[in-house]
Amino acid sequence: MRTVTRNILINVSLAALLMQCVEPFEIEIPGGSDFIVVDGLITDQPGPYVVNISVSSPLGFNDAVPVNDASVSVEEEGGITETFTLESPGQYVSSSLQGVAGRRYRLLISTRDGSRYQSDWVTLKPSPPIDSVYWEFDQRRSMEGQVEGVQFFVDTHDPENNTKFYRYRWTETWTYFAPFATTLDYLGDLKTAIRDYNRTCWIDEASRVINLASSQGNVKDVISNQSLNFVSTETNRLNIRYSILVEQLVMNEDEYNYWKGLKETNAETGELFDKQPQSLISNVVNIDNPDETVLGYFSVSGVSTQRVFIQRGDLPEGTTVKSLYAKCELIELEFSDPFSLAEREVLRNIKWGVWMFVNFSGPAFLVTTPECADCTIRGGYTTRPDFWVD
């Protein structure tokens, strides 16, 4: 039901009908823009768990201002209270805490100026297993026109009809090859060294969108055909082998509504008949000053996961997938033997990072650009992930 309603509201993009215009708007905010932001998640998966404390910034300044001198702890009802330790700026990490389904937890914070914050008690709801994560090869319209790609879906259900509120996040991992990988590192001045052979890389990307599902209002606690990620063939992700790990986090209605509000206020406004933006209500309050605006949420979720792989060959025949290396070329440099003085001068001054030598045995030298010779330059890593199955 909620899904249906949302679709309706999103689709009233009547703005489309109009001679309309959307342009950036400059604002000046009377009063401050600094509010405490609490971001914590406890799950039934093994820790450590992280709680981030920061202060919000004016619009346009995207860097969080971390709070490093707070005391952060999580209390298990009728159990221990574990104090988190500051690991990096604003980031507080647990040591031995392990979330257990059915138990209740709350977050306690005190800052240097003596403000004390506390969350509601939140019950850790167990997550039912994901029934399946599957995909379809599909087309969709985008600003660039028609694009092809893979649309992922998830199905799940709770036979107990208890879960109702779901959030999905995922991590994509894909592999790619640098076409002219080399073990040769040219140091300049005709000296070479052996370098790592960085041909195969893996790269991860975590989801950024808020993906919610609810079976509230349905007869059964069933989530069916829930759309997840769309992977376009305009990226290189599907070029060789691709994997997605889908995490299903379950929560109570209050947290669901928080996420829903977050999603609505942040992504879906702007059309003519959208809902009024809402001031979101955190489950964390200042004990001494309940009127203080607190941003963020302390989440406690049961989690279940499922991983899916896609091989290039799984795509329909004839599908073209964009490659990042389409422009890579191998260039042959011919020198006289022995080198002339001028040629020697050229070779001495060639620097790694501009040209990469694939073959340095002369008299013809093969060179290419570094990114075509080393996959890590594109941001990937070369250690094969544990979960990776070829």
Partner 1 sequence: MRYILLFFALYLLPWLKLSAQISPLPITGKYNDMPLIEVFSQLEENYPIRFFYDPAWVDSISVSLEAEGLNLEEFLDKLIDGTDLEYHLEKSGRIIFTKGHKIVKLPENFFKEEIPEEPKRITYSIFDKKEDPELLRSVPDVESREFTIGDQPNASGEATISGYIRMSSTGEPLIGASVFITSPFVGATTNAFGYYMLTLPQGNYRLHFKSVGMVETTRKINLRGDGQFDLKMDEDIIPLDEIVVQGELNIINSIQTGRITLDQVTIKTMPTILGEIDIMKISLTLPGVQTVGEGASGFNVRGGATDQNLILLDDVVVYNPSHLFGFFSAFNPDAIKGAGLYKSSIQADYGGRISSVLDIAIREGSKKKLNVSGGISPVSAKVTIDGPLKKDTTSFLLGIRSTYSDWLLEELNDDPELKNSSAFFGDVIGKIHHQANNNNSFTLSGYHSQDRFVLNDDTVYRYSNTNVMCKWRKTINHRLFSTVSLGFTEYNYKISNETSPANAFELNYGIQNSTFKGSFDWLPNANHGIKFGLNTTLYRLNPGSIKPIGGESIVDPRILNEEKGLETALYLGDEYKYNDRLSIYAGLRFSHFGLLGPGRQFKYLPGFSRETQFITDTVSFGKGSLIKAYSGPEYRFSSRYKLRNQSSIKFSYDRTQQFIHQLTNTTAVSPTDTWRLSNAFVKPQIGDQYSVGWYRTFPAYGINISVEGYYKKVRNLLEYKSGADLLVNEVLETDVINARGKSYGMEVFFRKKSGKLNGWISYTYSRALVKALGPFKVEQINQGEFFPANFDKPHNLAVVTNYKFNRRINMSTNIVYTSGRPVTFPIATYQFRGNTYSHFPERNQLRIPDYFRLDYSVNIEGNHKIKKPFHGSWSFSIYNLTGRNNAYSIFARTEDGKVQVFQLSVFAEPIPTLTYNFRF
* Residue numbers 213-252 binding partner 1 by CB under 8 A: 217-219, 222, 224-225
The token pair that represents 315 in the structure block:
């795509």
199 SS3 class: coil
Is residue 287 close enough to count as binding partner 1 by CB under 8 A? Answer: no
Q: Which stretch binds partner 1 (CB under 8 A): 259-267, 317-325, 341-349, 365-373?
A: 259-267
The site that binds partner 1 (CB under 8 A) totals a number of residues, namely: 79
Which letter does DSSP use for residue 313 in this model?
Answer: G
Sequential DSSP letters for 110-134: E-TTS-EEEEPPEE-PPPPPEEEEE
Least spacing, CB of residue 26 vs partner 1, in Å: 8
Four-CA torsion 237, 240, 244, 245, nearest 10 degrees: -130
The token pair that represents 193 in the structure block:
């060294």
Nearer to partner 1, 44 or 374 (CB): 44
What are φ and ψ of residue 191, in 5° steps?
-105, 140
Is residue 384 close enough to count as binding partner 1 by CB under 8 A? Answer: no
314-to-233, 310, 317 alpha-carbon distances in Å: 13, 6, 8
**Positions 178 through 217 that interact with partner 1 (CB under 8 A):** 206, 208, 217
Four-CA torsion 259, 260, 262, 266, nearest 10 degrees: 140
Least spacing, CB of residue 5 vs partner 1, in Å: 5
Query: Do 247 and 303 meet the contact criterion of CB atoms below 8 Å apart?
Result: yes
**Positions 297 through 326 that interact with partner 1 (CB under 8 A):** 297
Which member of 23, 113, 317, 390 binds partner 1 (CB under 8 A)? 23
Nearer to partner 1, 263 or 344 (CB): 263
Nearer to partner 1, 56 or 123 (CB): 56
Nearer to partner 1, 24 or 318 (CB): 24
CA–CA gap between residue 238 and residue 232 (Å, rounded): 8
Positive or negative: CA dihedral 285, 214, 206, 307: positive
Name beta bridge partners: 302: 250
Is residue 331 close enough to count as binding partner 1 by CB under 8 A? Answer: no
Q: Which stretch binds partner 1 (CB under 8 A): 76-84, 111-119, 292-300, 349-357?
A: 292-300
Which member of 42, 221, 239, 261 binds partner 1 (CB under 8 A)? 261
Find the radius of gyration of the CA atoms of the chain. Answer: 27
Which member of 80, 187, 267, 331 binds partner 1 (CB under 8 A)? 267
The token pair that represents 148 in the structure block:
């092809």
Is residue 52 close enough to count as binding partner 1 by CB under 8 A? Answer: yes
Which member of 83, 132, 139, 278 binds partner 1 (CB under 8 A)? 278
Q: Which stretch binds partner 1 (CB under 8 A): 18-26, 80-88, 95-103, 188-196?
A: 18-26
Among 214, 98, 103, smallest CA distance to 162 is for 214
Four-CA torsion 372, 373, 376, 379, nearest 10 degrees: -10
**Positions 93 through 132 that interact with partner 1 (CB under 8 A):** none
Nearer to partner 1, 243 or 257 (CB): 257
Nearer to partner 1, 219 or 389 (CB): 219
Q: Which stretch binds partner 1 (CB under 8 A): 33-41, 72-80, 114-122, 302-310?
A: 33-41
Least spacing, CB of residue 287 vs partner 1, in Å: 15
Is residue 159 close enough to count as binding partner 1 by CB under 8 A? Answer: no
CA–CA gap between residue 306 and residue 222 (Å, rounded): 17
